[in-house]
Amino acid sequence: MESSVADILPFKKKKPSSKGKTLCANNHHKWKVDIARQFDVKKGQLVTRYVCERCGRQKIKSH
């Protein structure tokens, strides 16, 4: 059998299977401001609450 150029299949690029989980694991979060809770009752002051869109981790910054 002779093989020709038409018989060879092209390579496909591999898609990342992690979909951003490795970014969050290396502290590269995608922070979004959560405007639902802007007041901390225990501290009695206004705070900004950030939530990562990929993993759901939260961080709070007081003003």
Given a cut of 90, is residue 52 above it in pLDDT?
A: yes
pLDDT score for 62: 84
> Tens digit of pLDDT for each residue in 2-50?
656 567 778 888 876 666 678 888 999 999 999 887 877 787 888 899 9
Cα 57 → chain centroid? 10
Residue at token pair 């759901």: 56
> What per-residue confidence (pLDDT) applies to 58?
93
For residue 40, the model assigns a pLDDT of: 77
57 vs 47: CA distance, rounded Å:
16
Judge whether 32 and 58 are in contact, CB under 8 Å: no
Q: What is the pTM of this model?
A: 0.60
